Amino acid sequence: MFQALGVHGPELSPGWAAFLDIALVSAAFAFLFSAPRANRMTAAMLATMVVAMAALRVVMQPLPNVQPVTVAALLVGAHLGARRGVAFAILVTLLSNLLISHGWWTFFQALGWSVVAVIGAHANLVVDGRLNHVRLYVAAALVAPMFGAITTLSLVSGEMTLGQFMLLLGQGLPFDAVHALGNVAFAVWTGSMLHRFLSGLTTLEDEAVATGEAHGVDA
Neighbours of 193 (CB within 10 A): 10
Residue 149, domain extent = 2-210
Neighbours of 28 (CB within 10 A): 23
pLDDT in tens, the chain (219 residues): 444 445 556 676 778 788 888 999 999 989 988 877 666 777 788 899 999 999 999 999 988 889 999 999 999 999 999 999 999 999 999 999 999 888 888 999 999 999 999 999 999 999 999 999 999 999 999 999 999 999 999 888 778 888 998 998 999 999 999 999 999 999 999 999 999 999 887 666 666 555 554 444 343
Say if strands 10-12 and 2-5 run parallel, antiparallel, or are unpaired. Answer: antiparallel
Residue 175 lies in a domain: yes
Residue 164 lies in a domain: yes
Residue 216 lies in a domain: no
Residue 59 lies in a domain: yes
* DSSP letter for each residue of 109-125: HHHHHHHHHHHHHHTT-
pTM for the full predicted model: 0.87
> Between 82-99 and 105-122, two packed helices, what is the crossing angle to 10 degrees?
150
Residue 217 lies in a domain: no
Residue 52 lies in a domain: yes
Domain count, the chain: 1
